Structure 1
Amino acid sequence: MSDDRGRGPDDRDPDDRNPEDELRDMLREFLSGDSTIDPGKLAGAAGLPSDPASIQQLLGQLQNALRNPGGGIDWDIAQQQARTLAGDGAHAVTPAERAQLDQAFSVAQLWLDQATTVSELMTTPELIGRAEWARQTMPLWTQLAEPVALSISDALTRVLTEQAPEEMLGMIQNAGQLMRSIGGALFAMQLGQVVGQLSKEVVSGGDIGIPLLPEGTAALLPQNVAEFGEGLDIPDDQIQLYLAVRELAHARLFRHAKWLRLQLITQITAFAKGISIDTDALESLAENFDPNNPEELREAMVSGRLIPPRSEEQQEALARLETVLALVEGWVDVVTAQATRLLPKADAIAETVRRRRASGGPAESAFATLVGLELRPRRLREAAALWQAVTDAVGQEARDRLWSHPDLLPDASDLDDPTALVARLTADAAGAEPERDALDQAIEDLLRGDTERPSED
């Protein structure tokens, strides 16, 4: 009888080994450096610099995914990537900068009280660094990205199963969770790169439009505020005050309309869950994949090539989402313009904000292709015109009251032509009987029993 004492799991007869162990060993061989795949190229595929420290970090994170298969996506990887990138070139806030921005928030609170009936925040506005912004916002980023990450990982495993030679089929089938973990790790690293770059572009908590920070929180990023004003030939204190007003208006709105944050996040998550992966494109990638050129995998992910055109249902869901986002941003624009009317350079700063918002930054573009969702609403100009028309017709209080319930919020048809909405609000303010449409009249007739019964032959 043979003596197996002292033999490790890797010393077993090859015929006795589990196919999943074989794949695990193959990956360990790569991660230990005994592979023809260039780790520097793989680092580039993950969006990392190809310096030794970044390569070591990448290998360590993949090794962790290898040791813990089936545990879902480790989003701590994204957090680490984002905070590392956010820290590059960051500097601490000086006491003078802090004093100036605190003063800007104080004045902004007073000015907003004259421009809106939405009450002020219960918490003190914050001044945060880039790394802290990445830390606070990452939970929402991962919530938005997870459906797509899981879809890509599942589709990759499915394609590998379909493309694998028969003799390797058992290995691939038994290693599905393992592949999912490693694919998820690569996606998480890519998301971390996007969020880390975004931390260098945004000036405030509400700059992206969606509520990334906890409800009722307002924050400015002092270093980014300073960079926003470079080359504008506008006094720093005016830029700080204008951006403080915008941020407080955004935070006030989401605190006032308590249903709004949940509705937006629910709509975005539902849209992301509806995204499928183009298996034909993935199959082509798998068939022609060159292990020595993993950059091709990254390009496929960040270009959006793996995400097919939106379905009709997705287009409708996106239209509803864009309408709400446009209404939020349009309201903030109108309220900010009213609150900063005494600021000499307000119009110039507003124009800079509009141009910046229209073009977006490189990180926003990367997120759009990575997750299939653009964050900037297309109908912002129409939304701002609607809110201004409502303000001129019925005033701030009636305008702001429309945010008290989702059923009261204007819809896409109101953005097309706000005339009917303004007429209805004006009639309500005057105490006039609202004009009935055909549906209202039909319901009233039905309740009164005035409908004619069909004649009996």
Structure 2
Amino acid sequence: MTDNLFDRLADLFRSPGPVNWRLAREIAESAAGNAEPVDPWLDEEYRDLAATAVRYIDSASPLDPVTAADAPRILDRRAWATAAADGLAYLAEPMAAKFTAAEPVTEVVQMLAPALIGLQMGGMVGALSHRIMGGFDVGLPPGRPEGPAYLVPNIEQLATDHDLDRRQVRLWAAMHETTHVAAMAEPWVRQHAVDSMAAFVASLEIDDAAMTTRLDMLQDPEALQRLVEGGGAMPPLLSARGGAEQLDDVRTLMSIADGYAEFLVDRCVGNLIPQAGALREAVDRRRAEPAPGEQMLAQMIGLDLDRAHYRLGATFCHEVARRWGDEAVHRLWESPATLPRSGDLADPVAWAA
């Protein structure tokens, strides 16, 4: 983060609204780093692979890939952070309402709560920009229909770090992103996810001690920088008093979307990705340790995305296919009634009963 940004904090804090999205974008862009435009030839390859993934999923799945067929956004880290900074408004704005509804509401809290939330939302997005590969990898549902997006530096870095064939990794990412976008474009799926997150946020209560700590940090530039960068242990700003069932619903939905994409990879392009096993192992190892952005989300509201849960989705889909055939797997997307609950992931027979 630059010294210039700290010089401008007072001005940024004056941004109106329940969440200071101007500050969030500034923080997100600063944490993401300088722009690194994607080479035109690589941009074209990602677009070709995205179109290929749409064709495969259209032919092999009941999901409608019309949204996924939108022109993909081929992004570097900074461009993704800029676009994503306000994409979690459905999560941040109800959080902000908690502060304005609290009793008693001090003038200081009213003035600084939008900045506190904007600060951490921006820091979280900026940190995630160094880790995630696309919308499928964020771990949270989108609040609105979104077309496919590819964070090219992170996809390429995964291939480099694990000595994997780059084109195979790109196709794998395209299949996952296309499946994710198509699933989340189903109105009932997205609404189910957003409603579950809203119920979880509704269960949150302000942690007065953590709030005091955060307010003190706003007066300490070094502590503020550590907060933005996700460093150090911090108590959650809000703590949950219930909401576990709704959080399980979100985790399960995201696990199923990820597992269903893995199922389609096997069915549609398994012969084109001979390194799929090694690739999946690399992704699982990476997800086993929370990214800084995920740690910041836990620090903000005590929300643990539990990425290890994702592996259960793939196991579930493959076991359902083994027992009852591929059509049984496709039934997942018929309605909320056919979506597994958390306990079903380890027990497909209970889901099918």
- Give the alignment's TM-score, normalised by structure 1: 0.67
- Indicate the residue corresponding to 1:258 in structure 2: 187
1:251–1:280 distance in 2 versus 1, CA, 3 Å:
closer
1:216–1:192 distance in 2 versus 1, CA, 3 Å:
closer
Counterpart among 10, 19, 28 of residue 59 in structure 1: 10
Give the Cα–Cα distance (whole angstroms) in 1 for the partners of residues 342 and 211 of structure 2.
Answer: 36
CA-to-aligned-CA distance 1:300-356 (integer Å, 9 cap, x gap) = 997452557643x32233223322232222222222233331112111111111122
Please report how far the alpha carbon of residue 276 of structure 1 lies from its aligned counterpart in structure 2 after TM superposition: 0.8
- Indicate the residue corresponding to 1:103 in structure 2: 48
- The residue type equivalent to 2:114 in the other structure is G
Please report how far the alpha carbon of residue 125 of structure 1 lies from its aligned counterpart in structure 2 after TM superposition: 2.7
1:281–1:130 distance in 2 versus 1, CA, 3 Å:
closer
- The residue type equivalent to 1:278 in the other structure is D
1:85 paired with 2:31, answer yes
CA-to-aligned-CA distance 1:119-147 (integer Å, 9 cap, x gap) = 43342333133333223333332331233
| Runs of 5+ unmatched residues, structure 2 | none
Please report how far the alpha carbon of residue 244 of structure 1 lies from its aligned counterpart in structure 2 after TM superposition: 0.9
- Indicate the residue corresponding to 1:11 in structure 2: none
Give the Cα–Cα distance (whole angstroms) in 2 for the partners of residues 193 and 318 of structure 1.
Answer: 22
Please report how far the alpha carbon of residue 261 of structure 1 lies from its aligned counterpart in structure 2 after TM superposition: 0.8
Give the Cα–Cα distance (whole angstroms) in 1 for the partners of residues 319 and 50 of structure 2.
Answer: 28
Percent of aligned pairs sharing the same letter: 26
- The residue type equivalent to 1:58 in the other structure is L
Q: Secondary structure at the match of 1:136?
A: helix
Please report how far the alpha carbon of residue 115 of structure 1 lies from its aligned counterpart in structure 2 after TM superposition: 4.4
1:305–1:294 distance in 2 versus 1, CA, 3 Å:
farther
Please report how far the alpha carbon of residue 260 of structure 1 lies from its aligned counterpart in structure 2 after TM superposition: 0.7
Give the Cα–Cα distance (whole angstroms) in 1 for the partners of residues 91 and 142 of structure 2.
Answer: 11
Please report how far the alpha carbon of residue 232 of structure 1 lies from its aligned counterpart in structure 2 after TM superposition: 1.9
1:54–1:290 distance in 2 versus 1, CA, 3 Å:
closer
Please report how far the alpha carbon of residue 246 of structure 1 lies from its aligned counterpart in structure 2 after TM superposition: 1.1
1:211–1:306 distance in 2 versus 1, CA, 3 Å:
closer
Give the Cα–Cα distance (whole angstroms) in 1 for the partners of residues 70 and 236 of structure 2.
Answer: 43
Q: Secondary structure at the match of 1:276?
A: strand
Q: Secondary structure at the match of 1:340?
A: helix
1:337 paired with 2:288, answer no
Q: Secondary structure at the match of 1:220?
A: strand
Give the Cα–Cα distance (whole angstroms) in 1 for the partners of residues 315 and 269 of structure 2.
Answer: 18
- Give the alignment's TM-score, normalised by structure 2: 0.84
CA RMSD of aligned residues (A): 3.2
1:182 paired with 2:182, answer no
- Indicate the residue corresponding to 2:79 in structure 1: 132
| Runs of 5+ unmatched residues, structure 1 | 1-47, 162-175, 425-457
Please report how far the alpha carbon of residue 271 of structure 1 lies from its aligned counterpart in structure 2 after TM superposition: 0.8
1:337–1:208 distance in 2 versus 1, CA, 3 Å:
farther
Counterpart among 167, 187, 190 of residue 237 in structure 1: 167
1:403 paired with 2:333, answer yes
Please report how far the alpha carbon of residue 264 of structure 1 lies from its aligned counterpart in structure 2 after TM superposition: 0.6
Structure index of larger Rg = 1
1:391 paired with 2:321, answer yes
Q: Secondary structure at the match of 2:45?
A: helix
Counterpart among 17, 39, 48 of residue 94 in structure 1: 39
Please report how far the alpha carbon of residue 82 of structure 1 lies from its aligned counterpart in structure 2 after TM superposition: 1.5
